[in-house]
Amino acid sequence: MKQIFLKNLSNHLDKEIELHGWVNTVRDHKKIVFLDLRDSTGTVQVVADAEASSLSPEDVVMIKGLVKKRPEKLINAKTPNGSIEVEANQITLVSKAHTLPFDMGKEELGLTLPVLLDNRTLTLRHHSVQKIFMVQEAIAEGFRKVSKELGCTEIFVPTIAASSTEGGAEVFEIKYYEHKASLIQSPQLYKQMLIPTFERVFTISHAYRAEPSVTTRHLAETIQMDCEFGFVNFEELLDLLEKVCVGMIQHAETTHRDIVEEFTKRLVLYGKIPRLTLTEAQEVIRKEFGRVVKDLKDMSPEDEQDICKWAREKKSSDFVIITHYPTAKRAFYTKPDPKDPQFSLSYDVLFRGLEICSGSERINDYQELVDVIKKRGMNPDDFELYLMAFKYGMPTEGGFSYGLERVTKQLLDLGNVRESSLFPRDMERVDVRLSRPKKLSS
Amino acid sequence: MKQIFLKNLSNHLDKEIELHGWVNTVRDHKKIVFLDLRDSTGTVQVVADAEASSLSPEDVVMIKGLVKKRPEKLINAKTPNGSIEVEANQITLVSKAHTLPFDMGKEELGLTLPVLLDNRTLTLRHHSVQKIFMVQEAIAEGFRKVSKELGCTEIFVPTIAASSTEGGAEVFEIKYYEHKASLIQSPQLYKQMLIPTFERVFTISHAYRAEPSVTTRHLAETIQMDCEFGFVNFEELLDLLEKVCVGMIQHAETTHRDIVEEFTKRLVLYGKIPRLTLTEAQEVIRKEFGRVVKDLKDMSPEDEQDICKWAREKKSSDFVIITHYPTAKRAFYTKPDPKDPQFSLSYDVLFRGLEICSGSERINDYQELVDVIKKRGMNPDDFELYLMAFKYGMPTEGGFSYGLERVTKQLLDLGNVRESSLFPRDMERVDVRLSRPKKLSS
The yes-or-no verdict on residue A438 having pLDDT over 80 is no
Q: Residue A162 CB: number of other CB atoms within 10 A?
A: 21
- CATH number (domain holding residue B292): 3.30.930.10
Most A CBs within 10 Å, among B19, B156, B237, B432, to test the A interface: B156
Give the pLDDT score at B12.
96
| pLDDT tens digits, one per residue of B256-279 | 999 999 999 888 999 999 999 999
Mean pLDDT of the residues in chain B: 94
Give the pLDDT score at A214.
85
Decide if A442 and B206 are in contact by the 8 Å CB cutoff: no
Helix locations, B316-383, DSSP H: 366-375
Q: Using CA atoms, how far apart are residues B374 and A442, in angstroms rounded to an integer?
A: 11
| pLDDT tens digits, one per residue of A327-344 | 999 999 999 999 999 999
Q: Residue A441 CB: number of other CB atoms within 10 A?
A: 15
Q: Are residues A152 and A71 part of one domain?
A: no
For A224, residues 6+ apart whose C-beta sits below 8 A from its C-beta are: A186, A187, A204, A205, A206, A207, A401, A402, A403, A404
**Of B57, B77, B95, which residue sits at a domain end?**
B95
Sheet arrangement for strand B397-403: B153-154, B200-208, B221-230, B397-403, B354-361, B346-351, B319-323, B275-277
A158-168 mean pLDDT: 80
- CATH number (domain holding residue B29): 2.40.50.140
Q: Are residues A351 and A248 part of one domain?
A: yes
Decide if B137 and A154 are in contact by the 8 Å CB cutoff: yes
Decide if A391 and B97 are in contact by the 8 Å CB cutoff: yes
Give the pLDDT score at A296.
87
Q: Round to the nearest angstrom and report the end-to-end CA distance of chain A.
A: 36
B233-241 mean pLDDT: 98
Residue B280 CA to chain centroid, in angstroms? 30
| pLDDT tens digits, one per residue of A237-248 | 999 999 999 999
Q: How far is B25 from chain A (nearest CA, A)?
A: 14
Give the pLDDT score at B164.
64
Q: Using CA atoms, how far apart are residues A102 and A58, in angstroms rounded to an integer?
A: 12
In a domain, A332, yes or no: yes
Backbone angles phi, psi at A345, to 5 degrees: -80, 60
| pLDDT tens digits, one per residue of B332-378 | 999 999 999 999 999 999 999 999 999 999 999 999 999 999 999 99
| pLDDT tens digits, one per residue of B388-418 | 999 999 999 999 999 999 999 999 999 999 9
Q: Are residues B78 and B134 part of one domain?
A: no
Q: How far is A359 from chain B (nearest CA, A)?
A: 18
Q: Using CA atoms, how far apart are residues B408 and B136, in angstroms rounded to an integer?
A: 6
The residue from A358, A360, A420, A421 that is catalytic is A358
More confident residue, B30 or A366: A366
In a domain, B112, yes or no: no
Q: How far is A283 from chain B (nearest CA, A)?
A: 32
Give the pLDDT score at B6.
96
What is the complex's ipTM, to 2 decimals? 0.96
Q: How many domains does chain A have?
A: 2
**Which residues on A lie below 8 Å from B421 (Cβ)?**
158
Q: Round to the nearest angstrom and report the end-to-end CA distance of chain B.
A: 36
In a domain, B148, yes or no: yes
- Give A425's strand partners: A430
Decide if A430 and B384 are in contact by the 8 Å CB cutoff: no
Minimal-distance CA residue of chain B relative to A237 = B1
Closest residue by Cα to residue A406 from A349, A360, A355 = A355
The yes-or-no verdict on residue B27 having pLDDT over 90 is yes
**Which residues on A lie below 8 Å from B365 (Cβ)?**
95
Residue A310 CA to chain centroid, in angstroms? 25
Q: Is residue B389 within 8 Å of A121, Cβ to Cβ?
A: yes
Decide if B150 and A394 are in contact by the 8 Å CB cutoff: no
Give the pLDDT score at A167.
67
Domain range for A130:
121-427
Decide if B20 and A231 are in contact by the 8 Å CB cutoff: yes
More confident residue, A236 or B214: A236
Phi-psi region of B67 (alpha: psi -120 to 50; beta: other; left: phi over 0): beta
The yes-or-no verdict on residue B284 having pLDDT over 80 is yes
Q: Residue A72 CB: number of other CB atoms within 10 A?
A: 7
A312-323 mean pLDDT: 98
Minimal-distance CA residue of chain B relative to A222 = B158
Backbone angles phi, psi at A31, to 5 degrees: -75, -35
In a domain, A111, yes or no: no
In a domain, A203, yes or no: yes
In a domain, B145, yes or no: yes
Q: Using CA atoms, how far apart are residues B19 and B6, in angstroms rounded to an integer?
A: 8
Most A CBs within 10 Å, among B147, B178, B197, B383, to test the A interface: B197
Name the residue among B155, B220, B381 with its Cβ closest to that of A440: B381
Q: Are residues B320 and B248 part of one domain?
A: yes
Q: Using CA atoms, how far apart are residues A402 and A2, in angstroms rounded to an integer?
A: 39
Dihedral angle computed from the Cα positions of residues A343, A349, A350 and A352, in that order, rounded to the nearest 10 degrees:
160
Q: Are residues B245 and B179 part of one domain?
A: yes
Closest residue by Cα to residue A226 from A183, A189, A191 = A191
Q: Are residues A70 and A156 part of one domain?
A: no
Decide if A385 and B160 are in contact by the 8 Å CB cutoff: no
Q: How far is A240 from chain B (nearest CA, A)?
A: 9
Q: Using CA atoms, how far apart are residues B67 and B140, in angstroms rounded to an integer?
A: 36
CA angle B410, B415, B420 (to 5 degrees): 65
Q: Are residues A155 and A87 part of one domain?
A: no
Q: Is residue A315 within 8 Å of A374, Cβ to Cβ?
A: no
Closest residue by Cα to residue A241 from A396, A352, A351 = A351
Q: Are residues B275 and B416 part of one domain?
A: yes
The residue from A70, A125, A127, A218 that is catalytic is A218
Give the pLDDT score at A439.
53
Coil, helix or strand at residue B78? coil
Give the pLDDT score at B63.
96
The yes-or-no verdict on residue B99 having pLDDT over 60 is yes
Give the pLDDT score at B1.
43
| pLDDT tens digits, one per residue of A65-119 | 999 999 999 999 888 999 999 999 999 999 999 999 999 999 999 999 999 999 9
Most B CBs within 10 Å, among A41, A391, A407, to test the B interface: A391
What burial letters (b/e) apply to B191-216, b meaning 16+ CB within 10 Å? bbbbbbbbbbbbbbbbbbbbeeeeee
Q: Are residues B322 and B207 part of one domain?
A: yes
For B404, residues 6+ apart whose C-beta sits below 8 A from its C-beta are: A156, B136, B139, B140, B204, B222, B223, B224, B225, B420
Give the pLDDT score at A2.
66
Decide if B391 and A161 are in contact by the 8 Å CB cutoff: no
Q: Residue A393 CB: number of other CB atoms within 10 A?
A: 27
Q: Are residues A91 and A206 part of one domain?
A: no
Most B CBs within 10 Å, among A92, A95, A117, to test the B interface: A95
Name the residue among B98, B193, B395 with its Cβ closest to that of A95: B395
What percent of chain B has a predicted confidence (pLDDT) above 70? 97
Closest residue by Cα to residue B114 from B384, B433, B354 = B433
Q: Are residues A67 and A10 part of one domain?
A: yes
Give the pLDDT score at B167.
67
Q: Are residues A90 and A216 part of one domain?
A: no
Give the pLDDT score at B441.
45
B436 band by pLDDT with thresholds 50, 70 and 90: low
**Of A79, A95, A111, which residue sits at a domain end?**
A95
Identify whether A205 is a catalytic site residue: no
| pLDDT tens digits, one per residue of A351-404 | 999 999 999 999 999 999 999 999 999 999 999 999 999 999 999 999 999 999
**Which residues on A lie below 8 Å from B24 (Cβ)?**
none
In a domain, B113, yes or no: no
In a domain, A218, yes or no: yes
Phi-psi region of B352 (alpha: psi -120 to 50; beta: other; left: phi over 0): left
Q: Using CA atoms, how far apart are residues B21 and B6, in angstroms rounded to an integer?
A: 9
